[in-house]
Amino acid sequence: MTVELVLLLGIYVFIVIGAFFGPTGPISTFKKSGPRLAARIERNISVGDGFRNSQDGSGVVWHPPQGGGGGGGFDDSF
């Protein structure tokens, strides 16, 4: 009975560790999606998307900068 218990626990631990540290586990998934998440956050910060006022919960309005500086190379002079 003890041998069976040890074998079952060993198999269980092997499967759980494989699920967490395997190629489709949550650890490798978070490592792969980190740069994509950082890019989305940086984009949202740069354009002001998804921010809310703390008082009433309404969205924050983003206005483009004045003076023609910045803009990421967008040329609107047709």
Domain annotation covers residue 9: yes
Farthest CA pair distance, the chain: 82
Q: Is residue 58 part of a domain?
A: no
- 16: containing domain: 2-45
Q: How many domains in the chain?
A: 1
72 falls within a domain: no
Query: Per the domain annotation, does 6 fall within a domain?
Result: yes
59 - beta bridge partners? 52
* pLDDT 10s digits, 26-37: 878 888 888 888
For residues 33 and 1, give the distance between their C-alpha atoms in angstroms, rounded to a whole number. 44
- Residue-level pLDDT at 78: 45
Reported pTM? 0.37
The pLDDT mean for the chain works out to: 76
- Whether 26 maps to a domain, the answer reads yes
Asked if residue 35 belongs to a domain, the reply is: yes
37 is a domain residue: yes
In a domain, 13, yes or no: yes
